[in-house]
Amino acid sequence: MQLTDDGKLRHFLSLEHLSRPLLEDILDTAAGFVDVGGRAIKKVPLLRGKTVVNLFFESSTRTRSTFELAAKRLSADVLTLDIAKSATSKGETLLDTLRNLEAMAADMFVVRHQDSGAPFFIAEQVTPRVAVINAGDGRHAHPTQAMLDMYTIRHYKGGFEGLKVAIVGDILHSRVARSQIHALNILGAEEVRVIAPRTLLPADADALGATVFTDMVQGIEDVDVVIMLRLQKERMDSALLPSEGEFFRLYGLTNEKLCHAKPDAIVMHPGPINRGVEIASEVADGPRSVILNQVTFGIAVRMAVMSMAISGQESLAAAQAAREESGHGH
């Protein structure tokens, strides 16, 4: 569903079942866009004449603004609908919204939704000429965040072979963690570890493709990359933690705990950061933190995904036109 017949990206919904060459292609394409932000005119004409609609059913600052910037740097027309506070659900009202947007000749929907699977539902319903990008759905996936994290790791570590990566914190509610684990395994990391208290681990933690640790010090022993996750209090139905202070004592990243990782280990965080809850300010602002660089790389990665998906849609349309043409020829 995500790929055209010739293997090009059509939608970008999840990293599951995508190939290593395709993920590397996204990273390589992003590398060509990183310098655009440093130019006097921060634009390339790849999506000129295209209309990108940001469809955010769930509030977001960082993801929404980087998608907006990415689309504008590709010279697209951008419409952002903040429908987080509306009562739209996965039923008829969502379809009505889509049909109205399609009537405005949109070429791409960037979708964030609180329900897992909503972007897939939308991709199944849209007309064939519209590309759908998942900007985060429920607890399920956040593929562009995972890819900007992969870009960051590759930038600082040169590649993935032999790398040990620890993902720490609220694994249970984190769509980012799921996408990161898929990406790291596809790209050939040596070991992916998840570190969390039992209450913040999914029941199928062992099936995720990661080694599970409940002890922070043991978990980050000798790792190359430490990715801290935010406690997603808005998704917690019950008191899964004794207190934030207790969580920080056991699972918060301090310089003292970081000493157990490799001396050149980098520290990442998809944001927004809760200082003093999952990470100490001394680490977040310290020399091993690459958190702000993740945001910068995020724009380039989203430019790559959007341009590749539009290119895939165009090749799909061209193939369809050729089929119709040959039909008329007979």
User: Which residues define the annotated binding site for carbamoyl phosphate?
Assistant: 62-63, 112, 142, 145, 271-272
CB 90 within 8 A of CB 102: no
176: tokens are 């980012």
The token pair at 235 is 């998704």
Region for 262 from its dihedrals, namely left if φ exceeds 0, alpha if ψ lies in -120 to 50, beta otherwise:
beta
Q: Tell me how far apart the 2 most distant CA atoms of the chain are, in Å.
A: 75
Per the rule left: phi > 0, alpha: psi between -120 and 50, beta: everything else, 51 is beta
Q: What are the backbone angles phi and psi of residue 126, rounded to the nearest 5°?
A: -70, 160
Note the helical H segments in 16-162: 20-33, 62-73, 92-103, 118-125, 143-157
Give binding residues for L-aspartate as ranges: 90, 175, 230
Annotated binding residues: 62-63, 90, 112, 142, 145, 175, 230, 271-272
Residue 304 one-letter amino acid: A
